[in-house]
Amino acid sequence: VDEALLENVLLAFAAKNPKIGYCQSMSFVAATLLMYMEEESAFWTLCGLLEDILPEEPGHGAGARLSKRGENPNDYFSERMSGLRADLRVLQKLLSEEIPELAEHLDLQGIDLSPITVNWFLCLFLNTLPADWSHRVLDSVLHEGSVVLFRMALGILWLRRKDLLSCSSLPDAFSFLRSPMAVSDDAPALDAAELWETRARVDRAENDEI
Protein backbone atom coordinates (compact mmCIF):
# COMPACT_ATOMS: atom_id res chain seq x y z
CA VAL A 1 0.00 0.00 0.00
CA ASP A 2 1.25 3.48 -0.90
CA GLU A 3 2.28 5.08 2.40
CA ALA A 4 1.46 8.57 1.13
CA LEU A 5 -2.11 7.53 0.31
CA LEU A 6 -2.44 5.84 3.70
CA GLU A 7 -1.22 8.97 5.47
CA ASN A 8 -3.64 11.13 3.46
CA VAL A 9 -6.61 8.95 4.43
CA LEU A 10 -5.68 8.90 8.12
CA LEU A 11 -4.97 12.64 8.27
CA ALA A 12 -8.25 13.41 6.52
CA PHE A 13 -10.14 11.19 8.95
CA ALA A 14 -8.48 12.82 11.96
CA ALA A 15 -9.33 16.27 10.60
CA LYS A 16 -12.95 15.27 10.06
CA ASN A 17 -13.20 13.61 13.48
CA PRO A 18 -10.98 15.58 15.89
CA LYS A 19 -12.61 13.98 18.95
CA ILE A 20 -11.52 10.58 17.68
CA GLY A 21 -8.27 11.60 16.01
CA TYR A 22 -5.94 8.71 15.25
CA CYS A 23 -4.97 5.43 16.84
CA GLN A 24 -2.60 2.84 15.46
CA SER A 25 -5.24 0.22 14.75
CA MET A 26 -6.80 2.52 12.15
CA SER A 27 -3.72 1.99 9.99
CA PHE A 28 -4.53 -1.70 9.55
CA VAL A 29 -8.08 -0.90 8.51
CA ALA A 30 -7.22 1.97 6.16
CA ALA A 31 -4.36 0.05 4.55
CA THR A 32 -6.64 -2.90 3.84
CA LEU A 33 -9.29 -0.64 2.31
CA LEU A 34 -6.66 0.92 0.04
CA MET A 35 -5.86 -2.54 -1.31
CA TYR A 36 -9.35 -2.68 -2.82
CA MET A 37 -10.39 0.90 -3.57
CA GLU A 38 -9.20 4.37 -4.51
CA GLU A 39 -8.07 6.91 -1.93
CA GLU A 40 -11.34 8.86 -1.68
CA SER A 41 -13.47 5.72 -1.51
CA ALA A 42 -11.19 4.32 1.20
CA PHE A 43 -11.58 7.55 3.20
CA TRP A 44 -15.37 7.54 3.06
CA THR A 45 -15.54 3.82 3.80
CA LEU A 46 -13.29 4.34 6.83
CA CYS A 47 -15.57 7.17 7.97
CA GLY A 48 -18.66 5.01 7.62
CA LEU A 49 -17.03 2.14 9.48
CA LEU A 50 -15.69 4.14 12.42
CA GLU A 51 -18.47 6.74 12.68
CA ASP A 52 -21.56 4.64 12.02
CA ILE A 53 -20.90 0.90 12.18
CA LEU A 54 -18.73 0.33 15.26
CA PRO A 55 -19.86 -0.69 17.79
CA GLU A 56 -23.21 -0.88 16.00
CA GLU A 57 -25.56 1.12 13.89
CA PRO A 58 -27.50 3.69 15.99
CA GLY A 59 -30.67 2.28 17.49
CA HIS A 60 -29.46 -1.30 17.77
CA GLY A 61 -27.14 -3.19 20.06
CA ALA A 62 -24.35 -1.80 22.21
CA GLY A 63 -24.27 1.49 20.33
CA ALA A 64 -27.89 2.21 21.15
CA ARG A 65 -27.31 1.26 24.77
CA LEU A 66 -24.48 3.74 25.18
CA SER A 67 -26.42 6.43 23.37
CA LYS A 68 -29.22 6.08 25.92
CA ARG A 69 -26.66 6.69 28.63
CA GLY A 70 -25.58 9.91 26.98
CA GLU A 71 -22.29 8.55 25.66
CA ASN A 72 -20.95 8.37 22.14
CA PRO A 73 -22.59 5.36 20.44
CA ASN A 74 -19.58 4.91 18.14
CA ASP A 75 -16.96 5.09 20.86
CA TYR A 76 -14.52 2.40 19.77
CA PHE A 77 -11.55 4.60 18.99
CA SER A 78 -11.73 7.64 21.27
CA GLU A 79 -9.73 7.86 24.47
CA ARG A 80 -12.62 6.52 26.59
CA MET A 81 -13.47 3.63 24.25
CA SER A 82 -16.81 3.17 26.00
CA GLY A 83 -18.34 1.26 23.10
CA LEU A 84 -15.38 -1.08 22.86
CA ARG A 85 -15.36 -1.78 26.59
CA ALA A 86 -19.09 -2.49 26.49
CA ASP A 87 -18.66 -4.96 23.64
CA LEU A 88 -15.84 -6.74 25.47
CA ARG A 89 -18.17 -7.21 28.45
CA VAL A 90 -20.77 -8.67 26.09
CA LEU A 91 -18.12 -11.02 24.68
CA GLN A 92 -17.28 -12.21 28.20
CA LYS A 93 -20.95 -12.92 28.87
CA LEU A 94 -21.28 -14.84 25.61
CA LEU A 95 -18.17 -16.84 26.46
CA SER A 96 -19.74 -17.81 29.80
CA GLU A 97 -22.89 -18.96 27.99
CA GLU A 98 -21.31 -20.72 25.01
CA ILE A 99 -18.09 -22.20 26.47
CA PRO A 100 -18.77 -22.20 30.23
CA GLU A 101 -15.95 -24.58 31.11
CA LEU A 102 -13.43 -22.25 29.47
CA ALA A 103 -14.89 -19.15 31.10
CA GLU A 104 -14.74 -20.86 34.50
CA HIS A 105 -11.15 -22.01 33.98
CA LEU A 106 -9.99 -18.54 32.95
CA ASP A 107 -11.72 -17.05 35.97
CA LEU A 108 -10.15 -19.57 38.37
CA GLN A 109 -6.71 -18.92 36.90
CA GLY A 110 -7.21 -15.16 37.02
CA ILE A 111 -6.67 -14.86 33.27
CA ASP A 112 -8.25 -11.77 31.72
CA LEU A 113 -8.27 -12.10 27.93
CA SER A 114 -9.16 -8.44 27.32
CA PRO A 115 -5.54 -7.43 26.45
CA ILE A 116 -5.87 -9.91 23.59
CA THR A 117 -9.50 -9.38 22.61
CA VAL A 118 -9.20 -5.58 22.63
CA ASN A 119 -6.64 -5.93 19.84
CA TRP A 120 -8.95 -8.28 17.94
CA PHE A 121 -11.83 -5.80 18.04
CA LEU A 122 -9.81 -2.63 17.44
CA CYS A 123 -7.89 -4.07 14.49
CA LEU A 124 -10.86 -6.13 13.23
CA PHE A 125 -8.59 -9.22 13.30
CA LEU A 126 -6.49 -7.71 10.48
CA ASN A 127 -3.24 -8.31 12.39
CA THR A 128 -4.35 -11.68 13.80
CA LEU A 129 -5.82 -13.81 11.02
CA PRO A 130 -4.46 -14.72 7.57
CA ALA A 131 -5.24 -12.06 4.97
CA ASP A 132 -7.99 -13.99 3.20
CA TRP A 133 -9.84 -14.49 6.48
CA SER A 134 -9.25 -11.05 7.97
CA HIS A 135 -10.36 -9.36 4.76
CA ARG A 136 -13.48 -11.50 4.82
CA VAL A 137 -14.12 -10.33 8.39
CA LEU A 138 -13.73 -6.68 7.36
CA ASP A 139 -16.11 -7.12 4.43
CA SER A 140 -18.65 -8.80 6.71
CA VAL A 141 -18.37 -6.02 9.31
CA LEU A 142 -19.14 -3.46 6.62
CA HIS A 143 -22.30 -5.39 5.71
CA GLU A 144 -23.48 -6.69 9.10
CA GLY A 145 -21.86 -4.61 11.83
CA SER A 146 -19.85 -5.55 14.88
CA VAL A 147 -21.77 -8.80 15.45
CA VAL A 148 -19.20 -10.30 13.07
CA LEU A 149 -16.45 -9.55 15.59
CA PHE A 150 -18.31 -11.55 18.22
CA ARG A 151 -18.75 -14.44 15.80
CA MET A 152 -15.06 -14.59 15.00
CA ALA A 153 -13.92 -14.10 18.60
CA LEU A 154 -16.19 -16.90 19.84
CA GLY A 155 -15.10 -19.09 16.95
CA ILE A 156 -11.42 -18.64 17.79
CA LEU A 157 -11.98 -19.26 21.50
CA TRP A 158 -14.00 -22.39 20.71
CA LEU A 159 -11.32 -23.57 18.28
CA ARG A 160 -8.56 -23.07 20.86
CA ARG A 161 -10.57 -24.09 23.91
CA LYS A 162 -8.56 -27.26 24.65
CA ASP A 163 -5.29 -25.33 24.48
CA LEU A 164 -6.67 -22.54 26.65
CA LEU A 165 -7.89 -25.01 29.25
CA SER A 166 -4.24 -25.93 29.81
CA CYS A 167 -3.18 -22.32 30.38
CA SER A 168 -2.31 -20.91 33.78
CA SER A 169 -1.28 -17.38 32.74
CA LEU A 170 -2.01 -14.69 30.17
CA PRO A 171 1.31 -15.28 28.34
CA ASP A 172 0.31 -18.94 27.97
CA ALA A 173 -3.02 -17.90 26.46
CA PHE A 174 -1.35 -15.37 24.17
CA SER A 175 0.94 -18.07 22.78
CA PHE A 176 -2.14 -19.90 21.45
CA LEU A 177 -4.15 -16.85 20.36
CA ARG A 178 -1.57 -14.71 18.58
CA SER A 179 -1.79 -17.00 15.50
CA PRO A 180 -5.07 -18.82 16.14
CA MET A 181 -5.38 -20.35 12.66
CA ALA A 182 -2.00 -22.05 12.49
CA VAL A 183 -3.37 -25.51 11.67
CA SER A 184 -4.57 -26.46 8.19
CA ASP A 185 -8.01 -27.63 9.31
CA ASP A 186 -8.70 -24.48 11.35
CA ALA A 187 -10.46 -22.65 8.52
CA PRO A 188 -13.21 -25.26 8.02
CA ALA A 189 -13.72 -25.36 11.78
CA LEU A 190 -14.13 -21.59 11.99
CA ASP A 191 -16.42 -21.64 8.99
CA ALA A 192 -18.92 -23.92 10.72
CA ALA A 193 -22.41 -22.47 10.35
CA GLU A 194 -23.21 -22.50 14.05
CA LEU A 195 -20.29 -20.19 14.76
CA TRP A 196 -21.69 -17.61 12.36
CA GLU A 197 -25.21 -17.45 13.80
CA THR A 198 -24.78 -15.28 16.89
CA ARG A 199 -27.08 -12.34 16.20
CA ALA A 200 -29.77 -13.36 18.69
CA ARG A 201 -27.26 -14.32 21.37
CA VAL A 202 -25.42 -11.01 21.07
CA ASP A 203 -28.71 -9.14 21.29
CA ARG A 204 -29.67 -10.98 24.48
CA ALA A 205 -26.30 -10.35 26.09
CA GLU A 206 -26.42 -6.66 25.16
CA ASN A 207 -29.92 -6.29 26.55
CA ASP A 208 -28.68 -7.68 29.86
CA GLU A 209 -26.09 -4.90 29.91
CA ILE A 210 -28.71 -2.14 29.72
Q: Show Cβ contacts of residue 21 under 8 Å, excluding neighbours closer than 6 positions.
A: 14, 78
> What pLDDT score was predicted for residue 196?
47
Mean pLDDT computed over 133-141: 91
* Confidence at 1, pLDDT banded by 50, 70, 90: confident
> In 10 A of CB 170, how many CB atoms?
18
Taking phi first (over 0 means left), then psi (-120 to 50 degrees means alpha), and beta for anything else, what does residue 124 get? left
What digits encode the pLDDT tens for the residues 145-203? 888 899 899 989 998 999 999 999 999 999 888 877 655 455 665 665 455 455 445 55
> What pLDDT score was predicted for residue 208?
58
Mean pLDDT computed over 47-55: 85
What digits encode the pLDDT tens for the residues 74-133? 577 777 777 888 889 999 999 999 999 999 999 999 999 999 999 999 999 999 888 888
**Is the pLDDT at 38 greater than 90, yes or no?**
yes
Q: Show Cβ contacts of residue 65 under 8 Å, excluding neighbours closer than 6 positions.
A: 86, 206, 209, 210
> In 10 A of CB 18, how many CB atoms?
7
Q: Which domains does the chain have, with CATH numbers?
A: 1-53 (1.10.8.270), 82-209 (1.10.472.80)
How close are the terminal C-alpha atoms of the chain, in Å?
Answer: 41
Q: pTM of the entire structure?
A: 0.80
Give the residue with greater pLDDT, 62 vs 109.
109
Residue 183 CA to residue 96 CA, distance in Å, equals 26
Residue 198 CA to residue 7 CA, distance in Å, equals 36
Residue 141 CA to residue 182 CA, distance in Å, equals 23
